[in-house]
A and B are shown apart, each in its own frame.
Chain A
Amino acid sequence: MTGLLAFKTAMIKHGAIIAIIALCLLLSVPVLTVFSSVGASSGGVWAHLADTLLWDYIGQSLMLMTGVGLLVLVLGVAPAWLVTMNSFPGSRLLEWALVLPLAMPAYIIAYTYTGMLDVTGPVQGFIRDTFDLRFGDYWFPQIRSLGGAITMLSLVLYPYVYLLSRMAFLEQSVCVLEVSRTLGAGPWRAFSRVAVPLARPAIIAGLALVLMETLADYGTVQYFGVSTFTTGIFRTWFGMGSSIAAAQLSAVLMLFILVLVLTEHWSRSRARYHHTSSKYSRLPQIRLVGVRKWLALVFCAMPVVLGFLVPFLQLAYWAWDTRHLVDFSAFSELLFNSLRLALTAALIALVLGMFISYAKRLQPNLTMRSSVRVLSLGYAIPGTVIAVGVLIPFAWMDNSIDAWMQQRFGVSTGLIFSGTLVAVVFAYIVRFLPVALNTVDAGLSKIRPSMDDAGRSMGMGSWQILRRIHIPMLRGSLLTASLLVFVDVLKELPATLILRPFNFNTLAIRTYELANQERLTEAAASALMIVLAGIIPVIIISLSISASRPGHDART
């Protein structure tokens, strides 16, 4: 009896931590699968890869990363400085509009620009008509190239660098900048010698995020025929039929990712200790005049126009143009499938995120904190890698169950996990749980511990405190968390592509298929829906950063 009671108390006390460790292990399955493939035999495929294509994948990936890295620095840091420290026509609008390209998935902007700039597209057509030329008579950049991929990815990924460097500029104590001005540094010198070095950790963290997304991209590089890791993984699996070699290639990709994750963590921890003065006042903005203000406007507007406005309008035009081609029952099925998946994943991620975050608050011990850290690494894993890491163990389980059932009862169970929506949602949770977890955790950490104590002193248990105090106070964070996951799932391409059940289509998949069949204009309706949904988190992010300036009253 006492034994049973002791067991029960232990379960209550340790139940949460056991559940969270179990969850950690479950969600680590894809990564563990990928890494455990390293020693396995791939029947010569790996050796073949290593001799031929591997160096191609590594080289092209590195070139892609270098190009995107340099371009996002130009597109991200300079506008962040201009809109934060100066005022010029449209600067208030651009402050948040510069985040808009984040709403545009890379593969969609790639499809759109290809449609516009290809030989058959409106731009080249216009050139030919105007100058009375024929194809081959003139030089025009080839969009489907490494350079094209670099440009496309940079145009939609620079907001990460923009957001983090802007945040860093906002947080810089005005005193430091003013001191540099009194020491005779002009605005440009203050920017290059003081502001940027101070913001460097933030900029590097943003850059690391961009490069992770670059490595994770599948849609753009596949469409442009660039041989990177992700396209390599697809080819190895579906072309050469070797899941082991695909997993091994994923493991190499994960090493690159690991370096980026460590860089990001390291820079973020450095960013925290970078403030020597805590005196903040409203940033004095320099009013730009004359030609400078127009230059600043053009420079800051360009990323928004090219990264969002042009492709958005083009998509809208195509969608309108092809409206009579849209099969409404098929389209509403796509919409329904996408919404269903996104909603399911968002709710699961929200509940898990809430549970984990609250458990950490109740027992902030080392095990709990490390588990949470492991769980929040999922965002760094490319969808392709997760898909490979999910499919291998799920298929193994299905085969084992099937074989056992065949042997025992003579019935075939077929696919239970792989090739079903369970696998798809599981992959989404691995990748997007961190998004929900971090949002909820940030919200929860703003609630003072005395709130919990007050609840307890009035007779509330932990569940009641969660239900009656935290959940009502966290409504905003909870909504944000589920919206962010919802939109991320809506945009997700590679994992869905690999893991979806046969003939199961979503908006993203349909866009991908139509684009690959060169029916770009017909893909516009689906693509437009995804972009419109993508604007929601952009608005959330813009609102939250304008509220987060230290020294401003951020009370809600």
Chain B
Amino acid sequence: MTHALELNNVSVALEKTPIVQHIDLRLNEGDIGCLLGPSGCGKTTLLRAIAGFEPVTSGQISIAEQLVSKPGLLVPVEKRQVGMVFQDYALFPHLTVKQNIAFGLKHVKAPERERRINVLADMLRIGELLHAFPHRLSGGQQQRVAIARAMAPKPRILLLDEPFASLDVELREDIAREIRDVLKQDGITTVLVSHNQLEAFAMADEIGVMRAGQLQQWSTAFALYHEPATAYVADFVGEGVFLPGTVIDEVSVSTELGILHSDQNLGYDIGALVSVLIRPDDVIHDDDSPATAKVLEKAFRGAEFMYTLALDSGARIQSLVPSHHVHAKGMQIGIRVEMDHLVVFPMEA
């Protein structure tokens, strides 16, 4: 299997301050990867290192099996054949949309260039805008042009820096899905950077959660949600709380909500104190259940309510409840836990 992008133990420093450390990741040809994390976690720095704007202080970066970065080696950006879409899009204001897209096609013969521009314009639905200047375009249109411009020279890899940050919140997920279709149609390998997990879920095949310069986990969205590698990932991706418990056998943990069973060996000693991840969709409202909890908060989400509940010990859990079940704050309601896979971390001291 050839990897379109491969990072081995990559560290990057800016002005001698280490920003990202010991990153390992691989991306297959045609896949879309996303670096996800809060601002300041080093995700943009890592993206710029892949692009070649920043040198690495350790490790290696290879693009399409070609070594492009290692300490003492930095293949210049302009020789890497990477396409990059910047957060502010960076369209050249003195050039029309068409001239912007053609900018990287200098060495391509005129008929071929026209063809490429037309293909991209069709794909990104910007055919009408080709002769407009960037300042006349809306944010979404500018983004499409920026993507078309970056894709035009057929780069080996496309990098997107916070591509949706400047767009209206309501539009982001739709646009993310649409852009994903375009990228998949073209078959281009892509890495994007985002701080929004919904965007990441909508766009990416593989997601890397970053925190303070470290890559915590690199896997599919499904695995991030259901099999988080660290407590941080569990907390950052999706909603949920940790409930204390005690391991009673290879697959079971005793908690305030009863004994929970996993479909896999948990790998803890019997008697170990652990935290069990309880997602809101694991907690089912059931009036017949003997276990009850008090409603502390509720937030209306359309089809369902998100309840924040207090157990007898005071521990809080969350539950998604269909919105035709209405319970007032302060009421005791019956709950039942339905989980077939447990996510367990050692209890923090």
Question: Which chain A residue lies CB-closest to B83?
Answer: A457
User: Nearest Cβ in chain B — how far from A451, in angstroms?
Assistant: 5
A555 contacts which chain B residues (CB < 8 A)?
Answer: 135
In-complex Cβ contact of A456 among B78, B93, B94, B153 (8 A): B78
Question: Which chain B residue lies CB-closest to A469?
Answer: B92
User: Nearest Cβ in chain B — how far from A511, in angstroms?
Assistant: 41
User: Nearest Cβ in chain B — how far from A548, in angstroms?
Assistant: 18
Proximity string of chain A (457-497) to chain B, C-beta cutoff 8 Å, 1 when within and 0 when not: 11111000000110011000000000000000000000000
A457 contacts which chain B residues (CB < 8 A)?
Answer: 51, 77-78, 82-84, 150, 159
Q: Which 3 A-B pairs have the closest CB atoms?
A: A458-B104, A450-B90, A457-B84
In-complex Cβ contact of A453 among B86, B92, B95, B153 (8 A): B86
User: Nearest Cβ in chain A — how far from B180, in angstroms?
Assistant: 21
* Known contacts A453-B53, A459-B153, A555-B135; is-contact A473 B88 (Cβ 8 Å): no
| Interface assignment of A286: CB less than 8 Å from any CB of chain B | no
| Interface assignment of A454: CB less than 8 Å from any CB of chain B | yes
Question: Which chain A residue lies CB-closest to B82?
Answer: A457
In the assembly, what is the distance between CA of A537 and CA of B135, in Å?
A: 28
In the assembly, what is the distance between CA of A555 and CA of B81, in Å?
A: 32
15 examples of A-B residue contacts, CB within 8 angstroms: A450-B88, A453-B53, A453-B77, A454-B84, A456-B78, A457-B77, A457-B159, A458-B78, A458-B149, A458-B150, A459-B79, A459-B81, A461-B78, A473-B94, A555-B135
Proximity string of chain B (233-259) to chain A, C-beta cutoff 8 Å, 1 when within and 0 when not: 000000000000000000000000000
* Known contacts A453-B53, A453-B77, A473-B93; is-contact A458 B88 (Cβ 8 Å): no
Listed in ascending order, the chain A residues whose CB lies under 8 Å from chain B are: 448, 450-451, 453-461, 468-469, 472-473, 555
Question: Which chain B residue lies CB-closest to A474?
Answer: B94
Tell me the number of A-to-B contacts counted with CB atoms below 8 Å. 55
Question: Which chain B residue lies CB-closest to A460?
Answer: B78
Question: Which chain A residue lies CB-closest to B92?
Answer: A469
Question: Which chain B residue lies CB-closest to A462?
Answer: B78
Residue with the greatest number of chain B CB neighbours at <10 A, chosen from A450, A457, A468, A555: A457
* Known contacts A453-B77, A472-B94; is-contact A458 B103 (Cβ 8 Å): yes
Question: Which chain A residue lies CB-closest to B87?
Answer: A450
Contact between chains at A454 and B78 (CB < 8 Å): no
Contact between chains at A451 and B153 (CB < 8 Å): no
In terms of DSSP, what is the predominant structure of the interface of chain B? loop
User: Nearest Cβ in chain B — how far from A523, in angstroms?
Assistant: 45
B76 contacts which chain A residues (CB < 8 A)?
Answer: 456
Question: Which chain A residue lies CB-closest to B152?
Answer: A458
A456 contacts which chain B residues (CB < 8 A)?
Answer: 53, 76-78
B78 contacts which chain A residues (CB < 8 A)?
Answer: 456-461
A454 contacts which chain B residues (CB < 8 A)?
Answer: 84, 86, 90, 92, 149
User: Nearest Cβ in chain A — how far from B151, in angstroms?
Assistant: 11
User: Nearest Cβ in chain B — how far from A34, in angstroms?
Assistant: 40
B93 contacts which chain A residues (CB < 8 A)?
Answer: 473
B81 contacts which chain A residues (CB < 8 A)?
Answer: 459
Given A448-B88, A473-B93, 9 other A-B residues pairs in contact with their CB atoms under 8 A: A451-B90, A453-B51, A454-B86, A454-B90, A456-B76, A457-B83, A458-B103, A458-B149, A472-B95
Contact between chains at A448 and B90 (CB < 8 Å): yes
B82 contacts which chain A residues (CB < 8 A)?
Answer: 457
Within 8 A of A (CB), among B55-82: 76-79, 81-82
In the assembly, what is the distance between CA of A455 and CA of B86, in Å?
A: 11
In the assembly, what is the distance between CA of A358 and CA of B238, in Å?
A: 47
A473 contacts which chain B residues (CB < 8 A)?
Answer: 92-94
In the assembly, what is the distance between CA of A459 and CA of B106, in Å?
A: 9
